[in-house]
Amino acid sequence: MAVFTLQQIAERIGGQVFGPTDMKITGTAEIEKASDGEITFLANPRYKHHLKTTRASAIIVDDKIGEVPEIPYIKVADAYFAFLQTVVLFHPPRELLAPGIHPTAVIHETAVLEEGVRVGAHVFIGKNVRIGRNTRIFPNCVILDNVSIGEECILYPSVSVREDCQIGHRVILHNGVVVGSDGFGFAPHEGRYVKIPQVGRVIIEDDVEIGANATIDRATLGETVIKTGAKLDNLVHIAHNVVVGEHTVIAAQTGISGSTRIGKRVMMGGQVGTVGHITIGDGAQIGAQSGVSKSVPPGEVVFGYPARPIMKTKRIEAALNQLPDLLKRVRQLEQIIETLQNSRKDQ
Amino acid sequence: MAVFTLQQIAERIGGQVFGPTDMKITGTAEIEKASDGEITFLANPRYKHHLKTTRASAIIVDDKIGEVPEIPYIKVADAYFAFLQTVVLFHPPRELLAPGIHPTAVIHETAVLEEGVRVGAHVFIGKNVRIGRNTRIFPNCVILDNVSIGEECILYPSVSVREDCQIGHRVILHNGVVVGSDGFGFAPHEGRYVKIPQVGRVIIEDDVEIGANATIDRATLGETVIKTGAKLDNLVHIAHNVVVGEHTVIAAQTGISGSTRIGKRVMMGGQVGTVGHITIGDGAQIGAQSGVSKSVPPGEVVFGYPARPIMKTKRIEAALNQLPDLLKRVRQLEQIIETLQNSRKDQ
Amino acid sequence: MAVFTLQQIAERIGGQVFGPTDMKITGTAEIEKASDGEITFLANPRYKHHLKTTRASAIIVDDKIGEVPEIPYIKVADAYFAFLQTVVLFHPPRELLAPGIHPTAVIHETAVLEEGVRVGAHVFIGKNVRIGRNTRIFPNCVILDNVSIGEECILYPSVSVREDCQIGHRVILHNGVVVGSDGFGFAPHEGRYVKIPQVGRVIIEDDVEIGANATIDRATLGETVIKTGAKLDNLVHIAHNVVVGEHTVIAAQTGISGSTRIGKRVMMGGQVGTVGHITIGDGAQIGAQSGVSKSVPPGEVVFGYPARPIMKTKRIEAALNQLPDLLKRVRQLEQIIETLQNSRKDQ
């Protein structure tokens, strides 16, 4: 197992050591779970009380935390980010895929693979495919004709990319992801459905990550686009002609219907569904399992089925708890009123 | 890029040219997006006003539209269908899979592949499999023993079909589709679950299309059936012994529980769930994300969680918006009543 | 097709024959569907009336049913379990995968495969993988470095298991299952998301079964655990650091968010979603499509969106049906009250 000194860690994360620079650290852990020899972090002053009880040997702290008399520490600008870098230091990317092209891979003679590309066993790469430097294609991936993939990408096992799709740099596609399957479009004609040709493609920009077994359909005409930095979780479904904006995050099992446009920095919970042809504004937040049936303005936080502004949904939910009781109360009121009316008649 | 004259297009779609028959057309687009050189379509008189502003060079119109003084046109019986045919004319099916059997495919000696079958790299085909004329099996598909697949089918990369399943003609299975996985059945026995043997199979009839990473479980006993012309979107789940009727359409991420029967020409939105052992009648429509807990009569339109007749759900949704306010109003009424009653006592 | 005598079946299931021991049985079926030559079962006295009409030639009955004058029968302690054993007798496990290692499989020289392991075509097995006796790896599976798999497991086609994951004995992974994909974790940093390293792993204990195209994410640090005897259906999503308890059953398309702990013998319906970092107590039951936003006590039965105790949800659902009408009734009350008040002023 790797061992680093406090000084080595501080150099890696751009911080300053307060304590013995040659202290040996053997791993990373959260502040409550850390044990002897491990380094942890503290970014939020609210959790400062853990400093007294943590068994960690050292800690990475935010500037704003101030002095830490309890244990040796490294001071940085962003302790959580520095901690993540430390985790990577202790768990460097592994050589899961051997360098070079596995002899069982089938690669068309017109495909261009730049320097450092690794291709695993039983991979298929079609005509005119281009793959950028240092991209790694794990076993059993299938890449059809005219696909372009950028540099430093990872395609985990059994990913498949249909023809003509375009993938940027540093994209990560987890196992079983499908890029470029036909959009779901059929026209009724003489009592049956006729397939609407799906002749568009998918564009995935840089720094996108897509979770296992997620599916991204090609456009009917034009393009389905997943923009820079977007992160999609497992089993997400993106229909034809959808646009997912920059740095938008979509949790597992959410489905976006055709031609819907999702803005930048949107956050969507899991199992959300949206209808087609709507717009989710920049910075909007959609609660888990919401059913979004109309466009959402930028910055709005919506939730529920159907999705409403979150405070409204919360009020309705609270009111629903009183609804069965409300029925009784109204019945009582009706009886009292009837009695009152009858007695008035008697007067 | 392909170029066709108006006359060539008219011959392909069975229409009559009004305008210069030798006009050169270079592509297809929707009426609002079309640009110079492209042909578009108009099927609905409601959109006739676009004729004045479209930049398309020509247009395919329905008989019922009447004359089109604005631009050259082709008159047909069904403009949308003719337009789809025109799209195919400009985007003919591509040769994504080389003819013949790839040498890396592993095919059992007892398998029978009819004329024109194409098999990609790293495909596995088991004992006694039969594959009909011109069917294309893309790389990394796996087809286990005794499977039968009809003519002119497409199995995109990484599809897998378990033993004994039967697939009709012109069926399209998108990447990662699983046909014939075990149904989900366990019997409690002495404090643990015992697997209920899943010894049935799946039958997929002609002209069915199934979306990427969808899963169709085999029957416990007997058959799970997807009938002629049914269309299933990505990530749909069909449990054991379900029957999906002819020309039924099911959108993405919907799940049908065991032994439920779905009629003909049903339309189901995305992320719908149904309980098992119910019947969805012919022509029923189920709104997105609905939770269907009991049978739905033929032709009924239901929506919601739980699914109710759509007008009822809409009325409840509208009423819910007033519910928090209603609580206040009832509280006021109760106070007034109390005052009235007290004042009566005083009388 | 297999044929067994009543006596042979009775010996297999540990029962006693009442009737002709040499009667020939050709198959199994449910009591209402059985035909001549088939054997069926009766476990619940409530269905005793079927004895008069069933066309089965023989029946397996529970001790508690008493005598069955109508047809030959086999008496056992647990008729349903005995029937399942009889189904297996008539449908013995098939030789779907040839013995030995297929020559197209790529297996690292450091991998250890115990006696009786079968490996299909185009499988990839990485460094230091260990696979226990008689485990079967179907075509196109991918198993990365340091994975350990127990005895008598089945990995159906196109399963992939990422590095370091550990799988117990008698585990069944259906087609397309992904074990060990990265958890979904990103930290905002300077206007973009930085990937939180996912350096944990997945542990799947003995006798687990996981449905087609389900995804089990590896832990951020530590372990995601699926405990002994748990059964997960198709397209289920298990996020990083989740623990699923012993003999828990989760139906299709359900998603469990990060770090949630699910107890023993929990039953979850399909399309359920849970938030992260909560606990579902032992023996709890969660209705289909529920949205679970807080911990559920042991043994509690919850349902709905948001999930509430099931009786509460049922009462709310019933009340909702009356809600539009309730609005009218309150409006009427308000009018009457106003009239009453006005008339009082007039007095």
Task: Note whether A315 contacts B326, CB cutoff 8 Å.
Answer: no
Residues of A acting as catalytic residues: 240
Q: Give the pLDDT score at C347.
A: 59
* Contact criterion met (CB < 8 Å) for B122 and A124: yes
Contacting residues of B for A106, CB less than 8 Å apart = 102, 104, 121-122, 139
3-state class (DSSP) for residue A235: coil
Closest residue in chain B to residue A253, using alpha carbons only:
B253
Percent of chain A at pLDDT above 70?
A: 99
What's the CA gap between B218 and B203, in Å, rounded?
9
Distance from CA of B90 to the nearest CA of A (A): 10
How many angstroms separate the CA of residue C253 from the nearest CA in chain B? 7
When scoring B81, B213, B247, B345 by the number of chain A Cβ atoms within 10 A, the one with the most, hence best to mutate, is B213
Q: What is the pLDDT of residue C94?
A: 85
CB pairs under 8 A between B and C: 179
The CA dihedral of B113, B116, B118, B123, to the nearest 10 degrees, is: 0
Interval B288-298 mean pLDDT: 98
Active-site position among C91, C240, C247, C277: C240
Subunits with at least 3 CB pairs below 8 A relative to chain A? B, C
Q: Is the dihedral of CA A315, A316, A320, A326 positive or negative?
A: positive
Letter for the amino acid at B103? P
Question: What backbone phi and psi angles, to 5 degrees, belong to B320?
Answer: -60, -35
The alpha-carbon gap from B232 to the nearest alpha carbon of chain C, in Å, equals: 15
- The confidence band for A64, taking pLDDT boundaries of 50, 70 and 90, is confident
Q: Is C36 exposed, middle or buried (0-12, 13-18, 19+ CB in 10 A)?
A: exposed
Q: Which helix (H) or strand (E) holds A231?
A: strand A231-232
Q: Compare all CA atoms of chain B with the CA of A159 and give the residue at the minimum distance.
A: B158
CB contact under 8 A, B221 and C324: no
- What is the 3-state secondary structure of A45-107? HHHHHHHHCCCCCEEEEEHHHCCCCCCCEEEECCHHHHHHHHHHHHCCCCCCCCCCECCCCEE
Q: Give the residue from chain A lying closest to C319, CA to CA.
A: A324
CA distance C189 to chain B (A): 33
Cα–Cα distance, A285 to A266 (Å, whole number): 6
Question: Burial, C301: exposed, middle or buried (Cβ in 10 Å; 0-12, 13-18, 19+)?
Answer: middle
Contacts of A91 in chain C (CB under 8 A): 197, 199
The rounded distance, in Å, linking the Cα atoms of C9 and C27 is 11
Q: Decide if pLDDT at B1 tops 70.
A: no
DSSP-derived pairing of the beta strands C130-131 and B166-167: unpaired
Average pLDDT over residues B278-301: 98
Q: Residues, chain C, total?
A: 347
Paired strand residues for C209: C172, C231
Give the pair of three-digit tokens for residue A196: 């609407």
Question: In this complex, how many residue pairs, one in chain A and one in chain B, have their CB atoms less than 8 Å apart?
Answer: 179
Size of interface A-C (CB pairs under 8 A): 177
Query: Which residue in C124, C191, C322 is closest to A327 by CB distance?
Result: C322
Contact A158 C142 (CB under 8 A): yes
B330: nearest CA partner in chain A: A330
Contact C221 A28 (CB under 8 A): yes
Closest Cβ–Cβ partner in C122, C176, C233 for B122 = C122
Q: What is the pLDDT of residues B156-201, one digit of tens each?
A: 999 999 999 999 999 999 999 999 999 999 999 888 999 999 999 9
d(CA C77, CA C13): 10
From the list A132, A59, A170, A10, the residue with the least C-alpha distance to C195 is: A170
Judged by CB atoms closer than 8 Å, whether chains meet at A255 and B271 is answered as yes
Q: What is the pLDDT of residue C64?
A: 86
Rounded to 5°, the CA angle A188-A192-A196 comes to: 50
Residue of C76, C102, C213 to mutate, interface with B, max B Cβ within 10 Å? C213
Is the CB of B104 less than 8 angstroms away from the CB of C104?
yes
In chain A, what's the furthest Cα-to-Cα distance? 103
- CA of B7 vs chain C CAs: smallest distance (Å): 49
Closest by CA to B101, choosing from B91, B89, B116, B111, is B116
Ranges of chain C with pLDDT below 70: 1, 345-347
Reported as half-sphere exposure (CB side, CA atoms, 13 A), residue C45 has a value of 5
Residue of B nearest to A139 (CA): B140
The two structure tokens encoding residue A323? 């609804």
B343: chain C residues, CB-CB within 8 Å: 344
Nearest to B327 among A158, A319, A340 (CB): A319
Closest residue, chain C, to B196 (C-alpha): C84
Mean pLDDT confidence for B331-344: 85
Contact (Cβ atoms closer than 8 angstroms) between residue B319 and residue B335: no
What average pLDDT does range A193-213 have in this prediction? 96
Q: Which of B160, B196, B340 sits opposite C84 (nearest CB)?
A: B196
Cβ–Cβ below 8 Å for B175 and A182 = no
Please name the fold of domain C162-306: UDP N-Acetylglucosamine Acyltransferase; domain 1 (2.160.10)
The token pair that represents B61 in the structure block: 């119109």
With an 8 Å Cβ cutoff, are B330 and C334 in contact? no
Contact A140 B158 (CB under 8 A): yes
Quote the pLDDT of residue C65.
85
Q: What are the catalytic residues of B? A: 240
The residue in chain B having the minimum alpha-carbon distance to the alpha carbon of residue C316 is B306
Which residues on B lie below 8 Å from A321 (Cβ)? none
CA C52, CA B177: separation in Å to the nearest integer? 44
pLDDT exceeds 80 at position B220: yes
Of residues A255, A291, A330, nearest to B252 (C-beta): A255
Query: Residue C231: which of B273, B218, B186 has the closest Cα?
Result: B186
Report chain A residues whose CB lies below 8 A from the CB of B160: none
| Residue B228, min C-alpha distance to chain C (Å) | 24
B288 contacts A275? CB cut-off 8 A? yes
Query: Which amino acid makes up residue A229?
Result: G
pLDDT tens digit string along A129-179? 999 999 999 999 999 999 999 999 999 999 999 999 999 999 999 999 999
Please write down the HEC assignment for all residues of chain C: CCCEEHHHHHHHHCCEEECCCCCEECEECCCCCCCCCEEEEECCHHHCCHHHHCCCCEEEEEHHHCCCCCCCEEEECCHHHHHHHHHHHHCCCCCCCCCCECCCCEECCCCEECCCCEECCCCEECCCCEECCCCEECCCCEECCCCEECCCCEECCCCEECCCCEECCCCEECCCCEEEECCCCEEEECCEEEECCCCCEEEECCCCEECCCCEEECCCCCEEEECCCCEECCCCEECCCCEECCCCEECCCCEECCCCEECCCCEECCCCEECCCCEECCCCEECCCCEECCCECCCCEEECCCCEEHHHHHHHHHHHHHHHHHHHHHHHHHHHHHHHHHHHHHC
pLDDT of the residue at C339: 85
pLDDT for res C346: 67
Looking at beta carbons, which residues of chain B come within 8 Å of A182? 172, 174, 209, 211
CB contact under 8 A, B184 and C320: no
Give the pLDDT score at B340.
81
Residues in chain C closer than 8 A to B257 (CB atoms): 251-252, 270
Residues in contact with B155: Cβ distance below 8 Å, sequence separation at least 6, in sequence order: B135, B136, B137, B138, B141, B143, B149, B161, B173, B177
Query: Mean pLDDT for chain B?
Result: 95
What does the pLDDT look like over B304-324, one tens digit per residue?
999 999 999 999 999 999 999
Q: Residue C335: beta bridge partners? A: none
Q: Quick check: A347 pLDDT over 70?
A: no
Tell me the sheet residues that pair with B160.
Answer: B142, B178
Question: How many helices (H) and strands (E) in chain A?
Answer: 3, 39
CA dist., res. C58 & res. B174, Å (int) = 45
A233, A334, A338: best to mutate for the C interface, most C CBs within 10 A: A233
* CATH class of the domain at A4-90: alpha beta
Q: How far is A296 from chain C (nearest CA, A)?
A: 21
Contact by Cβ (8 Å): B290, B272: yes
Q: How far is A112 from chain B (nearest CA, A)?
A: 18
The CB-side HSE value for A125 (13 A sphere, CA atoms) comes to: 31
Question: What residues of B are in contact with residue A191 (Cβ under 8 Å)?
Answer: 247
Q: Which strand (E) or helix (H) includes residue A118?
A: strand A118-119
Closest-CA distance of chain B to residue C81, Å: 7
| Contact flag C323-B318 (C-beta cutoff 8 Å) | no
The rounded distance, in Å, linking the Cα atoms of A282 and B183 is 42
Taking alpha carbons only, the member of A213, A251, A209, A256 closest to residue A230 is: A209
The gap from C-alpha B236 to its chain's centroid, in whole angstroms, comes to 10
How far apart CA B106 and CA B101 sit, in angstroms, is 10
Confidence check: pLDDT of B238 > 70 = yes
Count of residues making up chain A? 347
Query: What 3-state class would DSSP assign to B307?
Result: coil
| Residues A82, A98 contacting (CB under 8 angstroms) | no
Which residues of B are less than 8 Å from A237 in CB distance? 233-235, 252-253, 270
Q: Would you say residue A2 has pLDDT above 70? A: yes
Instruction: Give me the residue from C215, C305, C312 closest to A235, CB to CB.
Output: C215
